[in-house]
Amino acid sequence: MAAARGYRLACVMPEKMSMDKRVALASLGASLVITPNVPPDDERNFRNVARRLARERGWFHTDQFANPANPRIHESTTGPEILTQVDGPIGAFVAGAGTGGTLTGVGRFLRSHSPGVRIVLADPIGSRLAHLVSTRHPDVDSPYQVEGIGGSVLPEVLDLTILDEAERVSDEESIETTMRLWREEGLFVGPSSGTAVAAALRVASRPELAGPVVVVLADSWDRYFSKPWLSWHPDPGAGRGGGTRHPRRERNGPSDTVVRNSEVRVPEPPF
């Protein structure tokens, strides 16, 4: 959108984000600022750096974690689209929360148009958000591999009052579910989609639901070719202990199979 409208775009990202995401953004003309993986109260945290750069350089800060336009567009578009496609009562809506805009916006719409629907957060183990939804979940703040969802602090646009519950999902279950989606459904999605589907499968097993479970698959596998977990994954036809090397990995031999974040240095935007 920035390219189409002639805007110059700067993306501030923590170094946890994959090299593939960086390459895709840079290929589209964005400038990248890569920050350390540090807590939200650290001045080097990506959100704090974005605020500082916007303030110092006079940039427009989209601030998707706090901008009310984020959930509002999902309430006015994504929610109605889901209800139209399902064409009947919905038992539950399950999604992860990056900024929280999708979960909040769709949740608000479905609350008022599909009586009995349950709105469920799918959260990686290591994120604190599940605990903020329900104290039955432990208050844990630790690293995890899944990108783009979860966090240490509540995003401003995530409305806890519309959430009924949360399901915590481990990295291992998220990645295994992602690979099942590849093999069994032909859906080439990324790990945060695996997190959401793993949570949705648990919710769908409950007999009290009033309709189908809708789940959002928000990422694609081509954003993770550089991640170690994708370099070697189980092949159901290879026997116990077998595996398949991803073709992207073999192109230049084993020496370049992993691109590590620590080797990447991206300068700040020149504008």
Residue 242, Cβ density class (10 Å: 0-12 exposed, 13-18 middle, ≥19 buried) = exposed
Q: Tokens at residue 234, please? A: 């189980």
The predicted structure's pLDDT at residue 252: 30
Is 118 strand, coil or helix?
strand
DSSP string across 126-174? TBSHHHHH-TTS-------S--SS--SS--TT--GGG--EEEEE-HHHH
Pairing label, strands 31-35, 92-95 = unpaired
The predicted structure's pLDDT at residue 220: 82
The predicted structure's pLDDT at residue 236: 42
Q: Which helix (H) or strand (E) holds 233?
A: strand 232-234
Residue partners of 253: CB distance under 8 A and separation at least 6: none
The CATH number that domain 2-62 falls under is 3.40.50.1100
End-to-end distance of the chain based on CA atoms, in angstroms?
Answer: 19
Residue partners of 262: CB distance under 8 A and separation at least 6: 15
pLDDT in tens, the chain (271 residues): 888 899 999 999 999 888 888 988 998 899 999 999 999 999 999 999 999 999 999 999 999 999 999 999 999 999 999 999 999 999 999 999 999 999 999 999 999 999 899 999 999 999 999 999 999 999 999 999 999 999 999 999 999 999 999 999 999 999 999 999 999 999 999 999 999 999 999 999 998 898 999 999 988 877 777 777 665 454 444 443 444 444 333 333 322 222 333 333 444 555 5
Q: How far apart are CA 167 and CA 203, in angstroms?
A: 9
The predicted structure's pLDDT at residue 268: 53
Owner of token pair 């300068």: 267
Residue partners of 93: CB distance under 8 A and separation at least 6: 82, 103, 106, 107, 110, 117, 118, 119, 120, 213, 214, 215
Instruction: Say whether 69-222 and 2-62 share the same fold.
Output: yes
Q: How far apart are CA 103 and CA 117, in angstroms?
A: 13
The predicted structure's pLDDT at residue 232: 47
Dihedral class, residue 123 (left if φ above 0, else alpha if ψ from -120 to 50, else beta): beta
* Residue-range domain boundaries for the chain: 2-62, 69-222
CATH of 69-222, one of 3.40.50.1100, 3.50.50.60, 3.40.50.300, 3.30.230.10: 3.40.50.1100
- 54 secondary structure, DSSP code: H
The predicted structure's pLDDT at residue 257: 26
